[in-house]
Amino acid sequence: MDILETDAYDRRQRRNSSCILFLFLLPFFVSSSLYFYLWIPQNAPSLFAAAVKCSPVLSLAVLVLAHNGGQSLLGVAGGLLFSACGDCCLIWPELFLHGMAVFAVAHLLYCTSFLSERYSSLSSSSSSSALFLSISLWLTGIGTYFYLLPFLQKRTDSAILTPALGVYMVLIIAMTTLALHTRWSVTAVGGLSFLLSDLALSLQVFGVVDPLAEGRAVVMTTYYLAQVLIAVGDVKAGSYTGDGLRKRKIM
């Protein structure tokens, strides 16, 4: 009977936690919907455009801080805050390198979080699949970098951009690899979505394909999806102890 009561209690806890999490995510859904509704032209950079673009990610940072506390500033919450700064930089094309540097710091913070005990590793069988996918990602990343090299060399800032992009690609693939090896599927999908978003962005920024409204929509949809999944994964990870047991609390 005790086992049945414990199981019923855990189900109620999960249901209550899901409802509370959904309420905390409402600011993200509203602000991201506002971004797509306004769809401010890229050729009209402004502080208002920057605020609209970064507000969904800032709302996620508040969510993670509310659930996991100040220590998350050295993890996912900090990564989200740096990502929001990167969003602001990318509003102005001349700040592209600054934005890339800020996002690089965000990936480092994500990596730090994914290496913690809260993100315990997968089982051996699942880890094998994640390892195969990780190797594929690294090989794809190396191939993509060399494919982009001729396009990078046409730019006036190629002397700085070429090595900077190499470092950035190493960091984002490392972040995605670590995400794949956590026990949280939402985190893994979030890492992959972030990688897809950056790939779509780089193809447009570096002139591989012509920038289109549809291309921007792909970039931002996968980007916001990545950030919300990483944030939700961190909230879930924060509700478990180091040995994988659920904490007896609501969120």
Task: Judge whether 251 lies within some domain.
Answer: no
CB atoms within 10 A of CB 186: 19
pTM above 0.75, yes or no: yes
| 56 within domain boundaries | yes
Residue predicted with more confidence, 97 or 248: 97
Express as a percent the part of the chain with pLDDT over 70. 85
Residue 78 counted as domain residue? yes
* 180, 135 Cβ separation under 8 angstroms: no
User: Do residues 162 and 152 touch, judged by C-beta distance below 8 A?
Assistant: yes
Distance CA 134, CA 9 (A): 37
User: For residues 61 and 82, is the Cβ–Cβ distance under 8 A?
Assistant: no
Look at residue 247 and tell me if it is in a domain. Answer: no
The residue written with tokens 């996002």 in the block is 103
Domain for residue 246, yes or no? no
Host domain of residue 230: 2-238
AA letter at 212 = L
Please report whether residue 250 resides in a domain: no
98 vs 239, residue with greater confidence: 98
The pLDDT, as a whole number, for residue 211 is 76
Domains: count for the chain: 1
| CA end-to-end span of the chain | 26
**Residue 17 contacts by C-beta under 8 Å, 6 or more apart in sequence?**
239, 250, 251
In a domain, 91, yes or no: yes
42-50 LR contacts (CB < 8 Å, sep 24+):
42/211, 42/216, 45/91, 45/92, 45/93, 46/91, 49/91, 50/87, 50/88, 50/91
* Average pLDDT value for the chain: 88
- Whether residue 124 lies inside any domain: the answer is yes
Question: Phi and psi dihedrals of 133, rounded to 5?
Answer: -65, -40
Q: Does 7 have pLDDT greater than 70?
A: no
